[in-house]
Amino acid sequence: MRVNKILSIIVIISFLTLCTLFYFNYGQSSIRVKQIKDDEVEVFTKYNDNGIDVCYGNNFRCEKIKYKTQGMVNTKRLGTYTLTYRINHDGKEKVVHKKVRVVDKTAPKLEITGVHENVCPNGKTTGVSYLATDNYDGDITDKIKYKIEDDKIIYRVKDSSGNETKKEFDVKINDVEKPSIVLNDETVIYLGMGSRYEEPGYVAIDNCDGDITSKVKVSGTVDTDKEGEYTINYTVSDLYGNKTSVSRIVKVFKKNNYDPQQVSNKTIYLTFDDGPGPYTARLLDILNKYNVKATFFVTGYDNRYNDLITREHNEGHTVGLHSYSHNYASIYTSIDAYMQDLFMIQDKVSNLTGGYKSTIIRFPGGSSNTISRRYRVGIMSELTKKVEEIGFRYFDWTIASGDAGNTKDTNKIVQNVTTSLKENRNNVVLMHDIKGYSVDAVERIIQYGLANGYTFAPLTMESPVVHQHVNN
């Protein structure tokens, strides 16, 4: 009897428990959200949010209800974004989230053009170009990797998301290209006797082996105590035995041996207008180095460099007269205006040189200038006669360096002068010591002249005159 009571109690409790569970699971109304799965979308494509499946009720009856969506997905940028769904109904609230990943699953494009006929043992190629582009990363050519396997060259490139593209080609391993040697400085170097030869250096590059400068062998010697021409040879071989040789010529010459009593048929007169200026001191150092005397047609309007006029005279150069003001609109208005300017610069030179009265002149613009017509027609015809009547001698030039406006390239200035030199002619060179790129050319012009048998001299009252055609 007691057992039956116990069994009855258990049955009743079980029944009540089942009823309670049934009520809460099937009978009680609540906000119900179907399981949410995270989403994924390809970069640069449109993302369509399918939302969530949500209702209010129980398992017997559940009506769909509205919700609000917060957050956004930027499909132009890789990453994980969160969408938040807020549900409010019948005084009850629920918040759920969904993760959306913007991914890049598109492999990059790999373009290889050219023929793989001559491929270096290390995989370097000649005449083959590469281009790798990715829909997200853009140009990723620098990420291309290659290796050689079983007579094939395999190219691979990966984007930042790990997508890979691979291409392979049959190859023929070969290295037939010679390395190159590039000499620093000039291939012909000029040195005065007693100078020190210092190797300017070189660079050797091979198409397969890269920088092989350290493998260059140098032979040959230079005796700077003996005049002559010396050859320095440079030779290098790559790993495949391809060999290249180049040479440099070093010409050792005697310093300028100027004798004012003996002017040879190979004389160069270096003349410098418009100075002195900020580069004149350096120019004087160069001239002194080679015992070269030059002619300076000086101006007087800038007193900062007065000491250089003194130095020019003391070091044996000819200090000629150019103009005190160098103002065309003033000096070419009349004979008196020009002569007043000329005497001013003559007096200034005299004061700075201890009484030296220079009578060697060069007209601003030269005697052939036409700009003077703006201020007085025929003034140059009058002035060229007048200055000689009163004891001056004017000099024009036969070689224009080009530094007066045609070029600022030192190499071009050197070329203009050296290619214009001629024997049995008055080689009067026009340059300007107020221009650094022109002063930079002087040493090479001197070296070339001395190495080719020329002598340098300053203009004097006894020098052969050089006059151009008067055009006004």
pLDDT digits (tens, 9 = 90+) for 387-432: 999 999 999 999 999 999 889 999 999 999 999 999 988 899 999 9
Lowest mean pLDDT among 207-221, 222-236, 255-269: 255-269
Catalytic residue (choose from 273, 274, 341, 433): 273
Surface-to-core class of residue 205, CB atoms within 10 Å of its CB (0-12 exposed, 13-18 middle, 19+ buried): middle
Average pLDDT, the chain: 91
Q: Which residues of 228-243 are buried (b: 16+ CB within 10 A; e: fewer)?
A: eebebebbbbbebebe
The predicted model scores a pTM of 0.57
| Structure confidence at residue 20 (pLDDT) | 57
pLDDT at 17: 66
Strand partners, 251: 190, 229
Look at residue 261 and tell me whether its pLDDT is greater than 70: no
Give the per-residue pLDDT at 262.
Answer: 65
Amino acid 300: pLDDT: 96
273 is known as an active-site residue:
yes
Decide: 196 and 211 in contact? Cβ < 8 Å. no
pLDDT per residue as tens digits for the range 115-140? 887 788 777 777 889 999 999 999 99
Q: Please say if the pLDDT value at position 345 is more than 80.
A: yes
Q: What's the rounded mean pLDDT across residues 146-166? A: 91
Q: What is the DSSP string of 363-427?
A: -TT-TT-SGGGGT-TTHHHHHHHHHHHTT-EE---SEE-STTTT---HHHHHHHHHTT--TTS-E
What confidence score (pLDDT) does residue 148 get? Answer: 85
* Greater model confidence, 326 or 17: 326
Q: What angle do CA 318, 321, 327 make, to 5 degrees?
A: 150
* DSSP string across 134-149: ETTTEE-GGG-EEEEE
Kindly state the percentage of the chain with pLDDT values over 90: 75
pLDDT of residue 21: 57
Please write the tens of the pLDDT for every residue from 160-187: 999 999 999 988 887 888 999 999 988 9
**What local confidence, expressed as pLDDT, does residue 91 receive?**
86
Phi and psi at residue 85, in whole multiples of 5°?
A: -115, 120
pLDDT in tens, 357-370: 999 999 999 999 99
What is the C-alpha separation between 283 and 260, in angstroms, rounded? 22
Q: Is the pLDDT of residue 71 over 80?
A: yes
* pLDDT tens, residue by residue, 369-390: 999 999 999 999 999 999 999 9
Catalytic residue among 317, 322, 326, 432: 432
pLDDT at 249: 94
Asked about 432 being catalytic, the answer comes back as: yes
**Beta carbons within 8 Å of 244's beta carbon, 6+ residues apart:** 178, 179, 180, 181, 204, 235, 236, 237
Average pLDDT over residues 185-197: 85
- In this predicted structure, what is the pLDDT of residue 2? 67
Mean pLDDT over 194-209 rounds to 91
Q: Are strands 228-237 and 243-253 parallel, antiparallel or unpaired?
A: antiparallel
Residue 470 DSSP symbol = P
How sure is the predictor about 1, in pLDDT bands with cuts at 50, 70 and 90? low
Q: Which residues contact 408 (CB under 8 A, 6 or more apart)?
A: 435, 437
Return the structure tokens found at 201. Answer: 């250096």
* Least confident range of 170-174, 217-221, 226-230, 453-457: 170-174
Q: What is the mean pLDDT of residues 295-318?
A: 97
pLDDT band at 246 (very low <50, low <70, confident <90, very high): very high
In the chain, the domains with their CATH numbers are: 31-103 (2.60.40.10), 109-170 (2.60.40), 180-253 (2.60.40.10), 267-456 (3.20.20.370)
| Residue 328, H or E segment | helix 328-331
Which residue would you say has higher pLDDT here, 462 or 149? Answer: 462
| Residue 199 scores a pLDDT above 80 | yes
